[in-house]
């Protein structure tokens, strides 16, 4: 039935601020933009920022508000070769991390941050046994 998730879309209030963060701070390369969205591409996956108002028009406001006030409902995870190097690079650019890098019992070294609108990210590298 389902083969894989091809895209991740974050609904944002402040498209300009989030675009600046993802493009200029994190270094994502935009592949498309218009008045309500900005798209980035990672290998075979799309990552998009979409203004909440446009998402409400596309889906509907009721569906988008189902989890308002319920806290975070998603954690975006991205693998890297060296968590500590990425952590240092992004810290030097002013990204405030929630947790510094730590080796987890489940075999990953992880660190966590939130984007300007509070969307949570995990950066990880696999640990060798």
43 near 5, Cβ under 8 Å?
A: no
Number of Cβ within a 10 Å radius of residue 21? 20
Number of residues assigned to the chain: 129
- Quote the pLDDT of residue 73: 66
> What are the pLDDT digits (tens) for 96-114?
999 999 999 999 999 999 9
Distance of CA 124 to the CA centre of its chain: 13
Structure-token pair, residue 75: 């954690």
- Quote the pLDDT of residue 81: 95
Q: What is the pTM of this model?
A: 0.85
- Quote the pLDDT of residue 66: 53
Q: Hey, is 80 helix, strand or coil?
A: coil
CA distance 45 to 81: 19
Residue ranges in the chain modelled with pLDDT below 50: none
């Amino acid at each position: 039935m389902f083969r894989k998730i091809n895209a991740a879309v974050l609904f944002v209030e402040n498209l300009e601020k989030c675009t600046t963060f993802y493009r200029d701070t994190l270094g994502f390369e935009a592949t498309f933009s218009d008045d309500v969205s900005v798209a980035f591409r990672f290998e075979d996956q799309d990552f998009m920022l979409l203004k909440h108002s446009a998402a409400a028009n596309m889906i509907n406001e009721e569906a988008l508000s189902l989890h308002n006030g319920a806290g975070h409902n998603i954690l975006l995870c991205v693998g890297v070769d060296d968590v500590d190097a990425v952590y240092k690079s992004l810290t030097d650019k002013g990204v405030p991390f929630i947790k510094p890098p730590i080796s987890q019992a489940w075999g990953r070294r992880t660190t966590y941050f939130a984007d300007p609108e509070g969307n949570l990210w995990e950066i990880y590298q696999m640990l060798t046994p």
